[in-house]
């Protein structure tokens, strides 16, 4: 065999070896994180922002070398995002699909009415052989209704603690605006989060701080006529009107209040309404409304994250901010727990991630450190923003965490 022929054959063999599937992957494995939430329907913006935040965070990690796996190899984070349409049945079906894939952990869902039944199909107590519930870790970024993670030991959340946020808000109002004595509520009766926030959070903590509750008006998420409710609010003559509703009906109510000349001394809004949606819908009527939130671009890190997410066509807010944080928290856990990210270690890797999430006592966040509670919830740092000339501006930063 001539030297030229031998060289050519060797080169061809070398090229063929390089082309064998798996060779490249052995050097660079994939860590699959699947996001899920509403990508269609009227809360689509939440899904868009979460997806963008997950992808932007994964991109940042991958660009800086990826994740170090249990055997020292480097892995890249791969994000997939599935649509649950903010529907409980679809959410459950999506989660089963994710669990049957090679995903190691899921981040989602958007809606509390999906999270509640979804957590219900997970194994309640880790290691309980008698419980055949799904054994898959979920690290929620958006669904915010209080107390949901306690449903299953596989459920973890990185959402703000509304009870603490509103308690601090009312305490601060009492100290800084002593002329405010009475409060009236407006509540979106058919949305789990809004309802829980008014009845179990705002109303309770305001009463504890000594505010007199003058009653509440109720409406539905898709309502268009708020004449009765605005009239009731006017009659109540409360110093504060607190609206526990999402942007569409918050704006509808605020516009009707403006028409009927309802002018409380102070407006308070729902955490989820501290978004661009509210300002896009009714910036004028929402002027000066105060909302507690767990995200605002107040430091270099938060501003850089907001820029990165905008490049993925999303907007960083208190919800998508949590999605961003979750990816970095998961990176740390994957490295500490020595996750392997191999096809034959999926089950063990999921258990390692669950164990890592359960061990957390404090996590890094965009605006500061978050504490973790024994029931797998977060106590995130927060601040109060108010609408000013069509923008959200930081009004006060309580000393927390």
Partner 1 sequence: MLFIDLLQSIADGLLFGATYSLIGIGFTLVFGVMHKINMAYAAASVAGAYAGLTLLKLAGLPPLLVIIMACLAGAVFGLLTYVLCFWLIPLSHPLATLMSTVGMLLLIDEIVVHLTAGMPVNYPTVMGGMVSLGSFLLRGDLMFIFTIAVLAMAALMYLIYRTRLGLATRAVSQQPVAAQLCGMRLGQVNALTFTISGALGGIAGSLIGSAVGLLSPLLIAPLTVKGLIVTVIGGLGSIPGAIIAGLLVGAAENVFQFVRGVTERDIYVMLLLFVFLVFRPGGILGADPGRN
List of residues contacting partner 1 (CB under 8 A): 40-45, 48, 189-190, 218-225, 227-228, 231, 247-248, 251-252, 255, 259-260, 276-277, 280-283
Residue 108 CB, shortest distance to partner 1, in Å, is 17
In the complex with partner 1, which residue's Cβ is closer, 25 or 228? Answer: 228
Q: What is the rounded CA–CA span in Å between residue 262 and residue 253?
A: 10
In the complex with partner 1, which residue's Cβ is closer, 50 or 363? Answer: 50
240 Cβ contact partners less than 8 Å away, ≥ 6 residues apart: 173, 180, 182, 183, 184, 206, 211, 264, 265, 266, 267, 268
Residue 232 CB, shortest distance to partner 1, in Å, is 9
Is the separation of the CB atoms in 250 and 272 below 8 Å? Answer: no
Query: Which CA distances in Å does 374 have to 48, 377, 379?
Result: 31, 7, 11
Q: Tell me which residue has tokens 């509670």.
A: 373
In the complex with partner 1, which residue's Cβ is closer, 70 or 109? Answer: 109
In the complex with partner 1, which residue's Cβ is closer, 190 or 373? Answer: 190
Residue 285 CB, shortest distance to partner 1, in Å, is 8
Q: What is the rounded CA–CA span in Å between residue 378 and residue 360?
A: 10
- Run of H or E residues at 9: helix 3-19
In the complex with partner 1, which residue's Cβ is closer, 212 or 222? Answer: 222
Range list of H helices, 177-246? 192-196, 203-208, 227-236
Is the separation of the CB atoms in 247 and 42 below 8 Å? Answer: no
In the complex with partner 1, which residue's Cβ is closer, 48 or 155? Answer: 48
Is the separation of the CB atoms in 39 and 81 below 8 Å? Answer: yes
In the complex with partner 1, which residue's Cβ is closer, 43 or 67? Answer: 43
Q: Tell me which residue has tokens 């996590």.
A: 363
List residues bridging with 105 in a β-sheet: 33
Q: What is the rounded CA–CA span in Å between residue 87 and residue 188?
A: 18
Q: What is the chain's Cα-based Rg?
A: 24
**Residues written for the chain:** 401
Is the separation of the CB atoms in 291 and 271 below 8 Å? Answer: yes
Residue 47 CB, shortest distance to partner 1, in Å, is 9
Residue 352 CB, shortest distance to partner 1, in Å, is 36
Main-chain phi, psi angles of 20, to 5 degrees: -65, 125
In the complex with partner 1, which residue's Cβ is closer, 247 or 321? Answer: 247
Is the separation of the CB atoms in 89 and 44 below 8 Å? Answer: no
Residue 354 CB, shortest distance to partner 1, in Å, is 33
Residue 189 CB, shortest distance to partner 1, in Å, is 6
């Amino acid at each position: 065999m001539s030297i030229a022929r031998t060289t050519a054959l060797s080169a061809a063999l070398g090229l063929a070896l390089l082309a064998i599937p798996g060779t490249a992957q052995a050097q660079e494995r994939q860590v699959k994180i699947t996001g899920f939430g509403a990508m269609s329907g009227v809360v689509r913006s939440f899904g868009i922002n979460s997806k963008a935040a997950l992808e932007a965070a994964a991109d940042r990690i991958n660009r800086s070398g990826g994740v170090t796996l249990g055997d020292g190899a480097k892995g890249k984070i791969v994000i997939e995002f599935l649509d649950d349409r903010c529907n409980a049945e679809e959410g459950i079906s999506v989660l089963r699909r994710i669990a049957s894939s090679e995903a190691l952990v899921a981040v989602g869902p958007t809606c509390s009415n999906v999270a509640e039944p979804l957590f219900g199909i997970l194994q309640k107590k880790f290691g309980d052989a008698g419980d055949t519930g799904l054994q898959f870790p979920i690290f929620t970024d958006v669904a915010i209704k209080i107390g949901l993670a306690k449903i299953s030991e596989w459920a973890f959340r990185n959402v703000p603690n509304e009870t603490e946020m509103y308690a601090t808000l009312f305490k601060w109002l009492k100290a800084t605006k002593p002329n405010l004595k009475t409060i009236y509520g407006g509540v979106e009766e058919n949305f789990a989060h809004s309802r829980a926030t008014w009845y179990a959070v705002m109303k309770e903590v305001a009463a504890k701080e000594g505010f007199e509750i003058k009653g509440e008006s109720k409406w539905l998420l898709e309502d268009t006529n708020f004449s009765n409710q605005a009239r009731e609010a006017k009659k109540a003559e409360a110093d504060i009107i607190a609206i526990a509703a999402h942007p569409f009906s918050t704006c509808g109510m605020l516009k009707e209040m403006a028409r009927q000349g309802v002018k409380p001394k102070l407006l308070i809004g729902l955490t989820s309404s501290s978004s661009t949606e509210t300002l896009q819908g009714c910036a004028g009527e929402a002027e000066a409304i105060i909302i507690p939130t767990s995200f605002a671009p107040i430091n270099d890190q938060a501003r850089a994250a907001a820029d990165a997410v905008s490049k993925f066509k999303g907007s960083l807010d208190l919800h998508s901010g949590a999605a961003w944080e979750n990816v970095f928290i998961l990176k740390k856990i994957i490295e500490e727990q020595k996750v392997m990210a191999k096809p034959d270690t999926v089950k063990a890797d999921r258990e390692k991630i669950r164990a890592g999430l359960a061990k957390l006592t404090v996590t890094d966040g965009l605006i500061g450190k978050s504490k973790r509670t024994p029931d797998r919830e977060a106590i995130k740092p927060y601040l109060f923003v108010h609408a000013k000339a069509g923008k959200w501006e930081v009004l006060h930063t309580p000393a927390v965490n």
